[in-house]
Amino acid sequence: MAYRSSGAGYADVASHFRKRIEDGDLAPGDPLPSVADVREQFGVSAKTVSRALGVLKNEGLVTSRGSLGTVVAEPRAVTSGVDRLPRMARTGRRYGHGEDSTGHRVMMRSAHDPKVCRALDVEPGEEVVVRIRTFRQDGRPTSVGVSVYPPRTWAELPELMAEERMNNFFGSLYTERTGREVTQGERIGYQRMASQDELDALEIKVPSVTPVIVFVTDVTFHDEDGPVAYWEDVYAPGEKIRIPAEPAGQ
C-alpha cells in the first residue's frame, strides 16, 4: 500500500528516509530505493522524489554513486548525548553505525562548580554522581559526555552509581519508579576553553600552554519537583553537530 502524506510531499519523503538513516536502518553505502519504488511507496511524482533527494544530499545524508544510484553517505555530524534520545525512543538503539563510546567512568563528587550547583539546585559541597564517557565515530573521538545527578535522583536509581553502562534512558527508569514525568529543558550551546582531561579524552596533543577552544552544549532535565539531571557534551574542534529542527512558526 502506498504511503500518502497529508503534508508537503517532498518534505515528508525526506523526513522518512532521514529517520531511517538516523535510526541505523540504512547504513553508510546502503542504496536508497529507486525513484520508481519511492514514487509507488509514497504515491508522489518523480519531481517530488527528486526534491526530497536534493534535501537529503544538501544535508550530507546521501550521495550519488553513478550506477549504484543514491546511497547513504558517511556521517558528517556527531550524534551524542541528548541527540540520541529520539532514536532510542523509536528503536531502542543507543548507537548508530560506526558509533561507540569508551572511557566510561562513574564517581561520587562534591559539587563545587557554580553552574552545576545552580542547574541541579544543590548546595556547594553536596554529593552528586558524575558519569563520563567519550563518544567515537569509526574509532575517532568526537565528543565527551558528562552527566551529573543530584542525591534525590540517584536515591531512586542506585544503578547510576554502578560502573556498568546504562542500557536505558535514565528518565524512563525514573518515571517507572516514581511516577513523575521527566522533561528536557532548553539546550544551550557555547564555546569555552577545554580542560586537560577533555583534551586527553579527545586525544588532542598540544603544548600545555596552548589554549584549545571547544564547543559545548548542556541541558537540564526536570520532574515536577525540580531538576533531576544535568548533561554536558564537549565536542572535538572541527566536529559538526546536529541542530534539532523547530516546528514551522516557532
Beta-carbon contacts of residue 43 (< 8 Å; ≥ 6 apart): 2, 3, 4
Model confidence at 247, pLDDT cuts 50, 70, 90, reads: very low
Last residue of a domain, one of 72, 95, 116: 72
Higher pLDDT, 94 or 248: 94
Specify whether 89 is located in the same domain as 51.
no
Model confidence at 67, pLDDT cuts 50, 70, 90, reads: confident
Residue 204 lies in a domain: yes
Quote the domain boundaries for residue 144: 81-235
Model confidence at 250, pLDDT cuts 50, 70, 90, reads: very low
Quote the pLDDT of residue 1: 41
Specify whether 56 is located in the same domain as 144.
no
Specify whether 109 is located in the same domain as 172.
yes
Closest C-alpha to 55, from 94, 105, 21: 21
Q: What is the CATH number of the domain that holds 45?
A: 1.10.10.10
Specify whether 144 is located in the same domain as 181.
yes
Alpha helices in 149-243 (DSSP H): 151-156, 170-178, 196-201
Query: 218 is written with which cell numbers?
Result: 548542556
Residue 164 has pLDDT above 90, yes or no: no
> Is 61:78 a contact under the CB 8 Å cutoff?
no
Specify whether 90 is located in the same domain as 208.
yes
Q: Could you please report the per-residue DSSP string of 15-26?
A: HHHHHHHHTTSS
Residue 117 lies in a domain: yes
Quote the pLDDT of residue 246: 53
Higher pLDDT, 3 or 25: 25
The string of pLDDT tens digits covering residues 137-147 is 989 999 999 99
Specify whether 160 is located in the same domain as 193.
yes
Residue 203 lies in a domain: yes
Q: Considering Cα of 186, then 192, then 195, then 197, what sign does the dihedral take? A: positive
Helix (H), strand (E) counts: the chain: 8, 9
pTM, 2 dp:
0.81
The string of pLDDT tens digits covering residues 171-210 is 999 999 999 999 999 999 999 999 999 999 999 999 988 9
Quote the pLDDT of residue 244: 65
Residue 165 lies in a domain: yes
